Amino acid sequence: MCLWLVVPLVLLGAAPADAQTFTLTSVCKTPCGQDYLGPVWTKPGSALFEEHFIQVRLDAAVLMRSASEHIAISGMASGRPFRPGGTFSPDASNGGVGIALGRIDKASHDACPEDTASEYVELGIEQFGWRDPFASKITACTNFRKSLLASNTTVLLSLSIKCSGNLCAVTAGLTHDGTGAQLASVSGYATVANPTATRNIWYALTNFQGEKVEPSVTFQVIRQTYTAR
For residue 155, give the CATH number of its domain: 2.60.120
Is residue 159, in this structure, part of any structural domain at all? yes
**What pLDDT, on the 0 to 100 scale, is given for residue 68?**
77
Contact (Cβ atoms closer than 8 angstroms) between residue 103 and residue 118:
yes
Q: For the chain, what is the domain count?
A: 1
Is residue 10, in this structure, part of any structural domain at all? no
80 burial level (CB within 10 Å; 0-12, 13-18, 19+): buried
**What pLDDT, on the 0 to 100 scale, is given for residue 171?**
98
Contact (Cβ atoms closer than 8 angstroms) between residue 121 and residue 101:
yes
**What pLDDT, on the 0 to 100 scale, is given for residue 193?**
85
For the cut 60, the answer to whether the pLDDT of residue 150 exceeds it is yes
For the cut 80, the answer to whether the pLDDT of residue 89 exceeds it is no
For the cut 80, the answer to whether the pLDDT of residue 147 exceeds it is yes
User: What domain range includes position 81?
Assistant: 24-228
56-60, 113-117, 173-177, 194-198: which has the minimum mean pLDDT?
Answer: 113-117
Across the range 182-195, mean pLDDT stands at: 94
- Mean pLDDT across the chain: 84
Phi and psi at residue 148, to the nearest 5°: -70, -15
